[in-house]
Amino acid sequence: MSAEPSTYLTTGYTELCRSYQSLHEFRMKLLGLLPIASIAALLVLRQESGPLPPEPMSFEAKIIGYIGVFSALFTAALFVYEGRGILMCHDLYHAGMALESEMHIRGQFHECDEKRNLPCYDTGFKRALAPKINNKVASCAVYSLTFAAWLFVGLHFAFHVDLDQCALCAGVTGVVLAVLSYWVLKALTDPPKDAKPAAQHSELSTQH
């Protein structure tokens, strides 16, 4: 009888790890594909416009501009889906930590967290820098830069804004979006200050 709970826990832990890795792989593929597809689309638009840029406020210029506007909006919508993926990974991570604590093992969810508590990060700048390099930073940077690139196209061709002003506006918007989106995701995924570690939570639930 004592082997049954262990079997159930092992099966559940295996499936959870599989779901966690599959979700990570999908997000990484999407994260890599988005800028490549955007650059390819921009090159196609450039070729379709001919050897010379279209005349300002012409039909061709407006078509290219509004493609840029809607592509920027599509990028923003896609980031919402990416945010959902980050939250799902966060939930699976904490579920994995709870299972590892209950199984009395130290697996990937204890050893490979974003706090980077491994001994190799104990020296000076590593301790400060390592936790800052994470999937939320990468996602916010890639999606915000892609949004800014399409916004640049939309502002210049659809609304005939000067190139320098386009670059400034798109760059500032991209930076603001990156910082804001990172702050929101961090606020959603950071544990409360009075939260108990997963191991303690598991022990308390077992006692009850």
Question: From the CA atom positions of the chain, what is the Rg in Å?
Answer: 23
Whole-angstrom distance, CA of residue 177 vs CA of residue 144 = 6
Residues with Cβ within 8 Å of 15's Cβ and at least 6 positions away in sequence, in order, are none
**Quick one: pLDDT band at residue 207, thresholds 50, 70, 90?**
very low
Is the predicted pLDDT of residue 124 greater than 70, yes or no? yes
Whole-angstrom distance, CA of residue 34 vs CA of residue 85 = 15
Instruction: Give the mean pLDDT of the chain.
Output: 85
What pLDDT was estimated at residue 150? 95
What pLDDT was estimated at residue 93? 92
Retrieve residue 47's tokens.
Answer: 């070729």
Whole-angstrom distance, CA of residue 3 vs CA of residue 5 = 6
Helix ranges (H only) for the chain are 3-48, 59-103, 108-111, 124-129, 135-153, 159, 163-189, 198-207
Give 162's DSSP letter.
-
pTM comes to 0.83
**Quick one: pLDDT band at residue 14, thresholds 50, 70, 90?**
very high
Is the predicted pLDDT of residue 2 greater than 90, yes or no? no
CA nearest to 99, candidates 198, 204, 191: 198
Whole-angstrom distance, CA of residue 134 vs CA of residue 178 = 14
Q: What is the pLDDT of residues 52-62, one digit of tens each?
A: 567 777 888 88
Q: What is the pLDDT of residues 68-120, one digit of tens each?
A: 999 999 999 999 999 999 999 999 999 999 999 999 888 888 888 777 777 77
Do 182 and 93 meet the contact criterion of CB atoms below 8 Å apart?
no
